[in-house]
Amino acid sequence: MTHKAGRHFLQIPGPTNVPDRVLRAIDMPTMDHRGPEFQALGKRVLAGIRTIFQTKNPVIIYPASGTGAWEAALVNTLSPGDLCLMYETGHFASLWKKLAERLGLRTEFIAGDWRHGADAAAIGARLQADTAHEIKAVCVVHNETSTGCVSPIKAVRDAIDAAGHPALLLVDTISSLGSLDYRHDAWGVDVTIGGSQKGLMLPPGLSFNAVSDKALAAQETAGLPRSYWAWDEMLAANENGFFTYTPATNLLYGLDAAIDLLHEEGLEQVFARHQRHGAATRAAVEAWGLEVLCAEPSHHSGSLTAVMMPEGKGADALRHTILQRFDMSLGAGLSKVADKIFRIGHLGDFNDLTLIGTLGGVEMGLKSAGVKHRSGGVEAAMAVLEAGHAAENRQAAE
């Protein structure tokens, strides 16, 4: 094997780079998950994770990927044959729909073009028409990882309320939690789904359900079978800092460290950093003469940017060139946009210099792969970053 000097640039939209402090925390010796030392850790992370979801209600932690948390949200609140209203924001919204159908739920998909977030008005209009209240849940992906489009969750909640509809609101925040502003309580979400491997800066392996009082009441009558995912037994064990089965103890050490890191930076500063990096990336894309997949500026993501390839050029060939020449991984296009786009992840443990290195690798890759573009993307991104810092300094001085 040939050694490549320097570190690999992992710039996919998750899993993201894990900070050294989190890695060192995970490297702790395995402990007795029924003992007092673990109990203290369990209580600490179960309380701390609520602050990241911005909720006073419980957050259930599973040793699972985000797909597990999707399933947990559905089986704890719904019954066989219940109708879920879902919005086609992209690949992951489509996968969630498929999972719901496998569980024996009925789904209605509001068609989307993969270039916008969910349309709250369209959701509201459908609920207005559902006078029999046949729809039991509205399921929306907050930040669609396949497209870089953000859905306006507060507007969706307002649309549900304006329709006077009792449907539960279930939201996927797998690629926005810990990166984009998200408020479980203030936005009236009933179940929020999260994962460890993106904005939380952990390896894959933990997933989350933040639950409202309404969702907790729904589990009393939900008829879908559940055992591993059951909230009731898990919440009872969590009261004392424990779990109903063997938890991912070392990842919980890492979660404890990650929560501390987010609060040491400050959540508002974390959100502002991601917005700044998203804006700088889009400035680079525009300077290159390429097009961002997300067509609605108010839906632009601070977690990632999906970039459309020029006609006749494949994104996978470009990604391959960049990996081979510059040792950097970029996200692939998925299903409907396979080989048509590449995705730049700019979330998690990520700073200005990392972004400039990433964009420099993309610009060099475009040239190496023979993709028609203009130069100057890196300079355009630098100008946005400088303006953003200047604005923050003025705010701090006021």
Residue 65 lies in a domain: yes
CA count, 13 A, side-chain hemisphere, 222: 27
Domain range for 212 is: 20-263
Give the containing element (helix H, strand E) for 383: helix 377-397
Same-domain status, 108 and 257: yes
Q: What is the distance of C-alpha 182 from the center of its chain?
A: 10
What's the CATH number where 365 sits? 3.90.1150.10
Same-domain status, 35 and 74: yes
Q: Is the dihedral of CA 270, 276, 277, 282 positive or negative?
A: positive
Same-domain status, 60 and 97: yes
What's the CATH number where 88 sits? 3.40.640.10
Same-domain status, 258 and 271: no
Domain C-terminal end among 206, 232, 263: 263
Same-domain status, 100 and 210: yes
* Residue in 377, 75, 99 with CA at minimum distance from that of residue 234: 75
Same-domain status, 248 and 355: no
Same-domain status, 258 and 338: no
Q: What is the distance of C-alpha 309 from the center of its chain?
A: 24
Residue 217 lies in a domain: yes
Residue 11 lies in a domain: no
Same-domain status, 258 and 361: no
Query: Can you give the pTM of this predicted structure?
Result: 0.97
Same-domain status, 250 and 270: no
Same-domain status, 216 and 287: no
* Residue in 28, 68, 60 with CA at minimum distance from that of residue 235: 60
Residue 13 lies in a domain: no
Q: Which two tokens stand for residue 238?
A: 């969590």
Considering its fold, how many domains does the chain have in total?
Answer: 2
Rounded to an integer, what distance in angstroms lies between the CA atom of residue 109 and that of residue 126?
Answer: 11
The identity of residue 296, as a single letter, is E
Burial category of 383 from C-beta neighbours within 10 Å (exposed 0-12, middle 13-18, buried 19 and up): middle
> How does pLDDT run along the chain (398 residues), one tens digit per residue?
688 899 999 999 999 999 999 999 999 999 999 999 999 999 999 999 999 999 999 999 999 999 999 999 999 999 999 999 999 999 999 999 999 999 999 999 999 999 999 999 999 999 999 999 999 999 999 999 999 999 999 999 999 999 999 999 999 999 999 999 999 999 999 999 999 999 999 999 999 999 999 999 999 999 999 999 999 999 999 999 999 999 999 999 999 999 999 999 999 999 999 999 999 999 999 999 999 999 999 999 999 999 999 999 999 999 999 999 999 999 999 999 999 999 999 999 999 999 999 999 999 999 999 999 999 999 999 999 999 888 777 777 77
DSSP reduced 3-state for 315: helix
Domain C-terminal end among 263, 284, 303: 263
Rounded to an integer, what distance in angstroms lies between the CA atom of residue 352 and that of residue 355?
Answer: 5
Rounded to an integer, what distance in angstroms lies between the CA atom of residue 83 and that of residue 122?
Answer: 17
Domain C-terminal end among 242, 263, 284: 263
